[in-house]
Amino acid sequence: MTEKKGVLLKNEPLAKYTSWRVGGPAEKMYLPEGREDLIAFLTVLPEQEEIYWLGLGSNLLVRDGGIHGTVINTRGRLKVMQLVDTNKVYVEAGVPCAHAARFCTELGLTGAEFLAGIPGTMGGALKMNAGAFGGETWNIVDTVEMINANGRVTKRAAEEFEVAYRAVSGLGGEWFLAVELKLSKGESELSQQKIKSLLERRALTQPTNKPTCGSVFKNPPGDYAARLIEACGLKGYAIGGACVSKKHANFIENTGNATAADIEGLIAYIQQQVDQNHSVKLQTEVCRVGDSL
């Protein structure tokens, strides 16, 4: 067995790892050195151990009581990117989506520019079919590498998964380790200009400089969650330190002292108001994990 080279932390506060800056402690957190080290770590975990994956901590609400089990932190890890064919790029799960977008454009490949607008890692983007600016992650997926709780790695085709709006099923107790993106030949300079304009538009319309998780709610069919929330007069509405963004109503900001309970309470209030005023049941896009206090 390969000797573990990563770092194991106990009772590690998760607030400093989440983009909302909230969350209780992780009972255990493992920071793998890389792919082989992660495999070695998983092979010695107890059979029934609960495992959670954490990238950039966006699209994630960790409750104030924290997480029992082991959190695998891929931030700054699992970050290999390489060209594997004329139009295919291999990207490990810990690579931030924005880095993947730029890497692809530098290779003169087009189709991944939208990834620059996703504030998470490729692992998270694969898990939820993340999208931005009209693009969706799984539209450019060719194959994925999966890893299970025993550290066994398998390669699977995109067609083996059921992909929908902000949802992917068919994981079968496995997690995303890496992906091969299938792209098209393009002009590097044009792609880089497209990324620049997309990011400028994002900065104008979203509170990118505030602690948020990204979009909180899925857009209902034929409508926008932000429009419905704004129509209820909820921009600027706050519970504790959690506040509906005045810049974009589908974002909840931590104004400085929010708890996960504040945020969860605000989510429930927004859902209740939108249902009451528009007869639309908003579904959350954000993943909620851990225990309440």
CB atoms near residue 288 (< 10 Å): 14
Assess whether 58 carries a catalytic annotation: no
Q: How far apart are CA 153 and CA 248, in angstroms?
A: 40
Q: What are phi and psi of 190, to 5 degrees?
A: -65, -40
Does 188 participate in catalysis according to the annotation?
no
State the catalytic residue, choosing from 215, 245, 253, 264: 215
Catalytic residue from among 166, 180, 191, 253? 166
Q: How far is CA 51 from CA 69, 84, 92, 275, in A?
A: 6, 30, 19, 34
Distance in angstroms (rounded) separating the CA atoms of residues 55 and 161 = 22
d(C-alpha 288, C-alpha 265), whole Å: 13
Catalytic status, residue 152 = no
Indicate the Cα dihedral angle 206, 138, 60, 51, nearest 10°.
-160
Please list the active-site residues.
166, 215, 285
